[in-house]
Structure 1
Amino acid sequence: MRRCEYKALLLLLPILSGCFVHTRTVKQAKMPSVVLTATADELVQDVNRQCQAIHSLSATVEFRASEGGPRKGKEKTYTSFSGYILLRKPEAVRVIGLVPVLHTRAFDMASDGSQFKLLMYYPHDHVIEGSDKVTKESPNPLENLRPNIFFDSLLINCVRSDDLVTLTTDTETKVDPKTKELLLDPQYDLTVVRRKPGSQELIPERVVHFTRTDLQTVQEDIYDQNGSIQTTAIYGPLQRFGPQMFPGTITIKRPLEEYQIVITIQKINVNLTLSDDQFEIKIPEGTPVHKLE
């Protein structure tokens, strides 16, 4: 028995001495030179400052839409097109898309916060009406598109005084597009949660992500009632549009429906006086109307 144990030890010696260990060089990620700290209360105040700073906006934009993914097994990218977005708190939205090259209207969509209308000009004039909340999902993901998605993505909602929040930290690894170096991006994740009725379970409502290099908001995840991410808004670097600083790009992702819309801001004005009729769509007489459930 001892002889067998001795032989077994001899077999283990190369492993213990490192003969079977292989070392390879990998790219080393760099930590930013400045990493800021903040408390949950300070970040809540920052969110509310952003929320309260803008009560309306008018923007000239470019849209780039795509749909599909692993579940569908294919992806489809649409031609980029120009358009306009009007927002007015508390929930008024209007989004106009223009036909590429011709710059005539392709669609006109508006909402008062409870009901929406979508006037499509191509391939023929027709109107889609329905609730701002999707009660019955369509197999066509673009039919599930609602104006409030733009509202919630472009303007972050305030954190109410009775909201419950948690603060965690995370670190993402990114590739510098110029130098191709790996960069570490430390982040704060501020989660707004709600208590499930009749239960002790806490369900996330949304998560606001801050980069710790300057404590700017870089992303917001909005959850549905089942705790799944419904909308992700990714904010590009801040740019100056006259006196206003605003993200140059906003990427809206809808992971459950597998589509995304990239909005590039070309011009923006905030805190304008926008009248009710600017959020009303005039339907031509005789236009077919399809009501969504």
Structure 2
Amino acid sequence: MARFVFLRRRLLRGRRPIWTLWLAVLPLLLSGCAVSEKHTVPPAQVRPALEATADQLIAQYNQQARAVRSINAGVEVVPVAGSSYSGVIEEYHDVRGFILAQKPAHIRMIGQAPVVAKNVFDMVSDGETFRIFIPPKNKFITGPAAFERPAKKPIENLRPQHLLDALFWPELEPGKTVLFEEFNAEPARYYVLTLLRGSATLEIARKIWFDRTDLSITRVQLYGPGGRLVSEIRYADWQPAADVRYPRHIWLERPHDDYRLEVRITRLQLNEEIAAERFRLEPPPGVELVRMGEGDAAEKP
């Protein structure tokens, strides 16, 4: 069982003695100073917050992590201005495509231009190597999946395995230290599980946010060494599929890689076996080949 520590956090918390509050308010009343208008949410629109323990939330998270083994989805990809993906598909308002993913580490994502269904990008990863083909630029990028050094050209920062982090979750292992807290940002209320790593020096590895209106997972944050925020992933519109609930709306942001991507799932099949050849991607003849991790030199086969 995971060890956990309960923390409680609320915005604008802190209690002051009543006489201190009167001293602060009285000059305003006497001078007739204007007080800023406060906007509140009508009580009918505020849903009651559900209660849960840390153990219950950990069990719920692990159950979801175990339940999803493969994904076959039709998607709409919405680029965000200034991001690497918008550099690839900047001439299109949106891109429709497909995502294939299978545990432990296989993923393929194909993006197509609207109407003509012409491929805009095609990328795969097996956890060891990534491959990305960008037909409009006649460019094929490949390299080790662990290669993370930012490239001079933002387009070369694309990594399909980053999306895999948003689709599949690792389980919280027994014995790990997990902090448990409440976080209130009225009218929203959350539970937050914070997974720590390390022994002598503890660091944040992952934060998991639960919306207390229904205890669905609404946000996952991944951290690297030194508290560096690696990925910010948000989830919405959870719906049932194959006896499992899965989000239909995913936002992925990689702040240090210029990644900002919105994915809307329009069709979803879970836990079906996906043939290995569907994850194969080879460079076409005559394409510009960029090998990341080898001096960033470009070659032509």
| 1:195 aligned residue | 198
- 1:164-187 CA-to-partner distances (Å, cap 9, x unmatched) read 2111111124xxxxxxxxxx1110
Contact 1:67 1:258 in 2 (8 A): no
Indicate if the aligned counterparts of 1:230 and 1:255 stay in contact, CA closer than 8 A: yes
Query: Match of 1:224, as an amino acid?
Result: G
Q: What is the deviation of 1:241? A: 5.1
Q: Which one-letter code corresponds to 1:268 in the other structure?
A: L
Cα distance in 2, alignment partners of residues 77 and 218 from structure 1: 31
**Aligned residue number for residue 123 of structure 2:** 109
TM-score by length of 1: 0.81
Partner of 2:64: 50
Q: Is the 8 A contact 1:66 1:77 kept in 2?
A: no
Q: Deviations over 1:104-132 (max 9, x none)?
A: 212211111011111121132x3111111
Amino acid at match of 2:82: G
232-241 or 212-221: bigger deviation: 232-241
1:158–1:30 distance in 2 versus 1, CA, 3 Å: farther
Look up the equivalent residue of 1:210 and give its one-letter code: F
Counterpart mapping for 1:130-169 below 5 A: 130-169=143-182
SS at structure 2 position matched to 1:18: helix
Shift of 1:155: 2.0
Write the letter of the residue equivalent to 1:247. Answer: P
The match for 2:36 among 3, 24, 30 is 24
Unaligned 5+ residue runs, structure 2?
1-25, 84-89, 294-301
Q: Give the distance between the partners of 2:96 and 2:155, measured in 1 at CA.
A: 18
**In the alignment, is residue 94 of structure 1 matched against residue 108 of structure 2?**
yes
What displacement does 1:232 show?
0.9
Secondary structure in 2 aligned to 1:68?
A: coil
What TM-score, normalized to structure 2? Answer: 0.79
How many pairs does the alignment contain?
Answer: 260
* Residues 3-26 of structure 1, C-alpha deviations (whole Å, 9 max, x = no match): xxxxxxxxxxx9497326433331
Identify the residue that residue 270 of structure 1 maps to in structure 2. Answer: 270
Aligned equivalent of 1:259: 259
Provide the C-alpha distance between the structure 1 equivalents of 2:284 and 2:265, rounded to a whole number of angstroms: 30
Distance 1:21 1:269, change over 3 A: same
Match of 2:189 in 1: 186
Residues 99, 161 of structure 1: alpha-carbon distance in 2 compared, 3 angstrom cutoff = same
| Larger CA Rg, structure 1 vs 2 | 1
- Structure 1 segments unaligned to the other structure (5+ residues): 1-13, 70-75, 174-183
Equivalents in 1 of 2:119, 2:39: separation in Å? 49
Q: Distance in 1 between matches of 2:129 and 2:234?
A: 26
Given the superposition, is the C-alpha separation of residues 240 and 106 from structure 1 closer, same or farther in structure 2, using an over 3 Å criterion?
same
Change (3 A) 1:97 1:49: same
Mapped partners of 2:137, 2:257: distance in 1: 23
CA displacement, residues 201-253 of structure 1 (integer Å, 9 cap, x when unaligned): 32111101001111110010111223121111110121345765321210111
Separation in 1, partners of 2:141, 2:151: 13
